[in-house]
């Protein structure tokens, strides 16, 4: 009996020694480090405003300026140019093969067949991110387009007896300047940042000298002139920030623009798509 008790005590003593050795072998030792010195800096988690500069390109889904805005001053102006210039009148008389009247014999002198070819615009945008989700931005873009319009010409030829109606044409090259200033609200702070924005815009369209053409005879009508307008715009899109400082931008814009036509002034709604690449600093 006594030997059994001694054996049990020896067993527990051996078990305790093994446990103590195991605990000592797995003990973690933490060495204190200092966060001061030239190789360490503690930075507060505070947002810092950043500037952004982007080169943008946009394409209008409908024309930013109505073609009727630049129509050479109407058919009355074309008639004045032709009938006040004997040399030009004689050249047209020979090319058309007889007497002619610009417009219809019925008295209707309205133009028709307006068309406009719009080129994509190239612009520069500058923005200041004031808060993680709020940004103030402004920019300007330039584009070119060509306006064309048709007008009737009644020709009284002795060979045919009855008057024939031909088509004359007007062509004007336009330069468009569009400047915008507004704010943008972002819905994320990750790589992909959707946004909504709105603001005001100023547009100016300048026209070169309008050229008229009848029977392959071209002559200038109308002087260089420009039209300016104020409006508002709204935008929605996304910014992609793959790695600092580079970012990409894609957006859809809708804006208002006050245009002028022979019937008076009206406010038109225009839309465009935009893409850009930029740099943050």
pLDDT tens readout for residues 53-78: 999 999 988 765 554 455 555 677 78
pLDDT above 90 covers what percent of the chain? 33
State how far the alpha carbon of 11 is from the alpha carbons of 7, 14, 102, in Å: 6, 5, 125
279 φ, ψ (degrees, to nearest 5): -140, 135
Residue 108 has pLDDT above 50, yes or no: no
pLDDT above 70 covers what percent of the chain? 72
How many Å apart are CA 127 and CA 153, to the nearest integer? 53
How many Å apart are CA 104 and CA 166, to the nearest integer? 10
Residue that is written with structure tokens 């029977």 in the block: 215
pLDDT tens readout for residues 15-58: 556 555 555 544 555 566 665 566 666 656 677 899 999 999 99
Domains of the chain (ranges, CATH numbers): 50-280 (2.40.160.20)
How many Å apart are CA 227 and CA 203, to the nearest integer? 8
Alpha helices per DSSP H over the chain: 2-25, 75-83, 86-96
pLDDT tens readout for residues 146-184: 888 888 888 887 666 677 888 888 888 888 899 999 999
How many Å apart are CA 55 and CA 215, to the nearest integer? 44
pLDDT tens readout for residues 226-241: 888 889 999 999 999 9
Q: What is the mean pLDDT of residues 68-96?
A: 79
pLDDT tens readout for residues 177-211: 999 999 999 998 889 999 999 999 998 888 877 88
Asked whether 254 and 273 are in contact (CB, 8 A), the reply is no
Helix (H, G, I), strand (E, B) or coil at 80: helix
Other CB atoms within 10 Å distance of the CB of residue 277: 13
């Amino acid at each position: 009996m006594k030997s059994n008790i001694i054996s049990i005590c020896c067993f527990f003593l051996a078990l305790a020694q093994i446990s103590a050795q195991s605990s000592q072998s797995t003990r973690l030792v933490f060495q204190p480090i200092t966060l001061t010195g030239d190789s360490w800096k503690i930075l507060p988690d505070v947002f810092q405003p950043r500037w952004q500069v982007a080169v943008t390109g946009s394409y209008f889904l409908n024309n930013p300026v109505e073609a009727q805005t630049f129509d050479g001053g109407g058919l009355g102006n074309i008639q004045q140019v032709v009938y006040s210039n004997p040399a030009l009148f004689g050249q047209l008389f020979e090319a058309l093969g007889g007497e002619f009247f610009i417009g219809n014999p019925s008295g209707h002198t309205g133009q028709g067949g307006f068309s406009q070819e719009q080129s994509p615009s190239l612009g520069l945008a500058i923005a200041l991110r004031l808060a993680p989700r709020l940004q103030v931005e402004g920019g300007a873009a330039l584009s070119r387009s060509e306006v064309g319009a048709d007008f009737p010409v009644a020709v009284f030829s002795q060979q045919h007896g009855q008057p024939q109606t031909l088509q004359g044409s007007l062509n004007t090259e336009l330069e468009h300047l569009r400047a915008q200033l507004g704010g943008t609200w972002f819905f994320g702070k990750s790589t992909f940042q959707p946004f909504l924005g709105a603001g005001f815009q100023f547009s100016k369209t300048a026209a070169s000298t309008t050229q008229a053409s009848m029977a392959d005879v071209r002559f200038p009508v109308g002087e260089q002139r420009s039209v300016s307008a104020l409006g508002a715009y709204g935008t929605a899109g996304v910014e992609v920030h793959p790695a600092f400082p580079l970012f990409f931008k894609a957006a859809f814009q809708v804006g208002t623009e006050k245009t002028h036509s022979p019937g008076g002034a009206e406010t038109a709604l225009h839309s465009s798509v935009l893409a850009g690449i930029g740099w943050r600093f």
